[in-house]
Amino acid sequence: MASTTKAPEKRKEKPSALRSVIAGASAGAVEISITYPAEFAKTRTQLNQRLSGADKLPWPKFGPAWYAGCTTLIIGNSLKAGVRFVAFDQFKSMLQDENGHISGPRTVIAGFGAGVTESLLAVTPFESIKTTLIDDRKAAKPRLRGFLHAVPIIARERGIRGFFQGFVPTTARQAANSATRFGSYNFFKQIAESYVAPGEKLGAASTFGIGGLAGLITVEAAVYEQLGLWKPACAEGGCVDAVVGSVAEVGETDA
């Protein structure tokens, strides 16, 4: 009787860092390109709520005006997404077993590490520059003309610390969001894969649905996180403003 030997399980090819960066950056750019009109509408609505009837800003015809200021946001979001995905792939490769498999808890840890890396290399510096630009525009005579103009001035006047204002809370937020995003995505992906034949890949619609569900959970978790951070403000009597501000912040920073 001839003996049969089980062929060793083929390990999945590890994606290159460049491939992860391109994939993440492309996803970030597409995301902002699709969602930016909604962000424009939200901002215009909030502004008009504070203005009287005669001063309300008109709604332009849908087109280039709805994408004003989109370029900087696309660059920033592409960079953040690229760093996030390449960092996650690196942490994932360190935590997976010899067959290339990774458990749910280890996926969460890899996501946490990706969030920390994303905050260090992209989110915190961009948030610091954005905050500086916003504060400068409140002055009677703003001196910063834009993002690129602000970078050397911040570096000259404040040094490296000028790009890492609020590093600890920003990193905690990004790490928690990233761990939730990747952990929930991996969880739902494993459930979906249990319904397909071995070796068969999930369809684009299934992958899109899983990503959307993971994104929904991430946003919900971020909202509850922000509400928890604003409990002291509620205790001081400013609960409504605190809650509204928290939800708005989640919408602006979770990407």
Q: 229 in a domain, yes or no? A: yes
Sorting pLDDT into bands at 50, 70 and 90, what band is 15?
Answer: low
Q: How far apart are CA 229 and CA 150, in angstroms?
A: 30
Q: Could you list the residue range(s) of the whole structural domain that residue 40 is in? A: 17-49+66-253
Which among 69, 77, 111, 120 is positioned nearest to 91, based on CA atoms? 111
Indicate the DSSP class of residue 123: I
Residue 55 lies in a domain: no
Q: Which residues are CB-neighbours of 52 under 8 A, at least 6 positions away? A: none
List pLDDT tens digits, range 194-252: 888 877 888 888 888 888 888 888 877 766 665 555 445 445 455 445 444 544 554 44
> What is the model's pLDDT at position 10?
52
Q: What is the pLDDT of residues 50-78, one digit of tens each?
A: 777 777 878 888 877 787 667 767 777 78
pTM of structure:
0.67
Sorted by sequence, the CB contacts under 8 Å of residue 66 that are 6+ apart come out as 36, 37, 40, 41, 60
More confident residue, 226 or 118: 118
Residue 247: per-residue pLDDT:
46
Average pLDDT over residues 12-22: 67
In a domain, residue 44? The reply is yes
Task: Report yes or no on 218 lying in a domain.
Answer: yes
What's the structural domain count of the chain? Answer: 1
Return the pLDDT at 228: 56
Q: Let me know if residue 1 belongs to a domain.
A: no
With CA atoms as reference, report the closest residue to 61 among 31, 46, 40, 32: 40
Mean pLDDT of the chain: 77
Please indicate, yes or no, if residue 58 is contained in any of the structural domains.
Answer: no
Percent of the chain with pLDDT over 90: 9
**How many other C-beta atoms can be found within 10 angstroms of the C-beta atom of residue 154?**
20
* Angstrom distance (rounded) from CA 209 to CA 215: 10
User: What tens digit of pLDDT does each residue of 172-202 get?
Assistant: 988 998 898 888 888 888 888 888 887 788 8
Is the confidence at residue 108, as pLDDT, over 50?
yes
* Domain presence at residue 93: yes
Q: Is residue 194 part of a domain?
A: yes
